[in-house]
Amino acid sequence: MELGIAGRTAIICAGSKGLGRGCATALAREGVAIFIAARGADALEATAKSIRDDTGARVATVQADVTTEAGRAALLAACPAPDILVTNAGGPPPGEFTQFSLDDWRRAVEANMITPIALIAATIQGMMGRGFGRVVNITSYTVKMPIGSLELSNGARAGLTGAVASLARRAAPHNVTINNMLPGPFDTDRVRSNWTRAAEVSGRSMEDVAKDSVRSIPARRLGTTEEFGATCAFLCSAHAGFITGQNILLDGGAYPGLM
Ligand code: NAP
């Protein structure tokens, strides 16, 4: 399917690895000029080169910590008027509620709620004025199905979900959509570091934790970053203008509820 977004411009936050990289690659394949941000220069430049070589798209890099004001300013200076904004950042660490400090909570809210809100606030009026915009927030299936050890993530991401819900309706008349993608377990570094931590806490082997985790997914496998990126590209496409304010689960059937 031709997605109708060739020539558009996109910011993809935290795009050098994992889910962000999947989104960046899929958008570049559609002829979108992409700006990818991450903190580490080596992975960022390697990813940019690989996407350029694979797709021939324009790929710019911004070495920035998107959870800081300076990092976001650098990203927006490089691409002040994106047509597409994919918000993303590293997830908060797992842990135990009673052990988290208030600063842990502040960091989680800053990274996974305030950062996407700041980027949306800086770009959405331009999108509405131009009559096209697609915002995709990468959140987590923990928004619908909270996981015990991920309370920092559950809280901050649920806050973001609430914060953008009515804005999505206000932006809709201008052909600007805001949707959230809710990944379950995907095959990325993040999932492996969660398994390592779970193994340490439980005293079990990493392999056992991994096996149990995969067994709990009806699809009996992890998701791939290609699958994630393809869904993101469709949500950013010209055809997806009637999909807004949605929380789209990609979890191999893990969430057990009806809706
Ligand atoms: P990943 O494979 O570890 O990749 C994380 C990416 O984010 C890297 O490119 C990293 O590059 C970048 N990054 C992290 N912090 C950043 C920051 N402050 N500023 C700019 N870039 C930053 O992680 P992932 O699995 O793709 O996860 C992406 C998000 O989805 C996370 O919030 C994660 O919690 C959430 N999630 C993932 C899963 C899963 O199964 N994978 C499931 C649910 C939710 P640098 O380190 O160089 O900055």
16: left (phi over 0), alpha (psi -120 to 50) or beta: alpha
| The two structure tokens encoding residue 12 | 């993809």
In this structure, the residue with its CA closest to atom 36 of ligand 1 is 140
- Estimate the share of the chain in helix, then strand, then coil, as percent rounded to the nearest 5: 55, 15, 30
- What was the pLDDT predicted at 242? 98
Looking at residues 190-206, what average pLDDT do you find? 89
Chain segment 41-99, per-residue pLDDT in tens: 999 999 999 999 999 999 999 999 999 999 999 999 999 999 999 999 999 998 899 99
The alpha carbon of 130 and the centre of ligand 1 are apart by a number of angstroms equal to: 30
13 Cα–ligand 1 center, Å: 9
Q: What percent of the chain has pLDDT over 90?
A: 93
Q: Of 151, 132, 125, which Cα lies nearest the Cα of 140?
A: 151
The yes-or-no verdict on residue 255 having pLDDT over 90 is: yes
CA torsion angle 100 103 109 114 (round to 10)? -170
Q: Please give the number of the atom of ligand 1 that sits closest to the Cα of 184.
A: 42
pLDDT at 238 over 90: yes
* 3-class DSSP assignment, residue 217: coil
pLDDT over 90 at 197, yes or no: no
Residue 40, token pair as written in the block: 């580490």
Q: Are 54 and 30 in contact (CB under 8 A)?
A: no
Q: Please state whether beta strands 59-63 and 33-38 pair in parallel, antiparallel, or not at all (unpaired).
A: parallel
Read off the pLDDT of residues 12-33 as tens digits, 9 standing for 90 and up: 999 999 999 999 999 999 999 9
Mean pLDDT of 5-18: 98
| Distance between Cα 131 and ligand 1 center (Å) | 30
Contacts of 104 (CB under 8 A, 6+ apart): 92, 93, 95, 152
pTM of the model: 0.97
Q: What is the pLDDT of residues 157-196, one digit of tens each?
A: 999 999 999 999 999 999 999 999 999 999 999 888 888 8
Pocket mutation for ligand 1, best pick of 21, 75, 144, 190 (most atoms within 8 Å of C-beta): 190
What pLDDT is recorded for position 230?
98
Q: Does the C-beta of 75 come closer than 6 Å to ligand 1? A: no
Tell how far the Cα of 14 is from the centroid of ligand 1, in angstroms: 6
Phi, then psi, of 82 in degrees rounded to 5: -70, 150
- pLDDT for the residue 19: 98
The protein residue whose alpha carbon is closest to atom 7 in ligand 1 is 14
Question: Vertex 226, ends 225 and 229: CA angle to 5°?
Answer: 85
What pLDDT does residue 193 have?
87
- Token pair recorded at residue 149: 């050890």
Q: Is 26 in the pocket of ligand 1 (CB under 6 A)?
A: no
- CA 208 and chain centroid, separation: 28
Any ligand 1 atom below 6 A from CB of 138: yes
Burial readout 154-187 (b: 16 or more C-beta within 10 A, e: otherwise): bbbbbbbbeebeebbeebbebbbbbbbbbbbbbb
Q: What is the pLDDT of residue 219?
A: 98
Give the strand order in the sheet containing 247-250. Answer: 59-63, 33-38, 9-12, 84-87, 133-138, 176-183, 247-250
**Residue with CA at minimum distance from ligand 1 atom 23:** 190
Within 10 angstroms of residue 95's Cβ, the number of other Cβ atoms is: 15
Q: In whole numbers, what is the pLDDT of the chain averaged over residues? A: 97
- Reported confidence tier of residue 149, pLDDT bands at 50, 70, 90: confident
Measured distance CA(58)–CA(48) in Å, rounded: 9
Distance 173 CA to ligand 1 centre (A): 32
pLDDT for 5 equals 98
> Residue 88 C-alpha to ligand 1 middle, in angstroms?
7
> What is the C-alpha separation between 169 and 72, in angstroms, rounded?
25
14 lines ligand 1 (CB under 6 A): yes
Model confidence at 250, in pLDDT bands (50, 70, 90)? very high
